[in-house]
């Protein structure tokens, strides 16, 4: 029950961080995306660009999280081990791949929000605001 709670907490954090990253990325690049739309880029093309970009961010985040968890696990095992009691460090690479897989899934899950925002964007307003 405790491990499942930790997994759920980690999953919620991953989704929240990816969602926040997506919104910040879109707010920083509104003018660029609107300019691409004005120049004739289709919504599908922008959705593909956004999806690939967000999946890359998820991959980097998943790798960083998995490597950090192995580092923390090793550190806790080393600190907790004494000459009387030893905690072996056994790394299960299926869990490692599950972490990365879930983060990629969470990135894919949050991307439609960005695609929806791109679709609702008022192109003239965004480009005019950028020109000022």
What pLDDT was estimated at residue 105?
92
- The model carries a pTM of 0.80
What pLDDT was estimated at residue 48?
93
Question: Has residue 126 got a pLDDT over 90?
Answer: no
Whether the CB-CB separation of 123 and 34 falls below 8 Å is answered with yes
Domain boundaries, the chain: 2-131
Query: pLDDT confidence of 17, banded at 50, 70, 90?
Result: very high
- pLDDT tens for 77-94 read 899 888 888 888 888 889
Q: Residue 60 contacts by C-beta under 8 Å, 6 or more apart in sequence? A: none
Question: Has residue 2 got a pLDDT over 90?
Answer: no
What pLDDT was estimated at residue 52?
93
What pLDDT was estimated at residue 121?
84
Query: pLDDT confidence of 34, banded at 50, 70, 90?
Result: confident
40 Rama sector, left if φ>0, alpha if ψ -120 to 50, beta otherwise: left
What pLDDT was estimated at residue 82?
84
């Amino acid at each position: 029950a405790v491990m499942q709670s930790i997994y759920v907490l980690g999953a919620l954090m991953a989704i929240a961080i990816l969602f926040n990253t997506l919104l910040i990325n879109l707010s920083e690049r509104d003018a660029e995306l609107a300019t691409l739309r004005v120049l004739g880029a289709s919504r599908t093309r922008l959705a593909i660009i956004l999806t690939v970009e967000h999946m890359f961010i998820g991959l980097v985040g998943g790798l960083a999280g998995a490597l950090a968890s192995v580092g923390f696990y090793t550190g806790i095992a080393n600190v907790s081990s004494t000459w009387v009691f030893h905690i072996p460090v056994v790394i299960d690479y299926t869990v490692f791949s599950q972490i990365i897989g879930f983060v990629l899934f969470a990135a894919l899950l949050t991307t439609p929000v960005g695609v929806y925002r791109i679709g609702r964007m008022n192109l003239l307003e965004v480009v005019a605001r950028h020109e000022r």
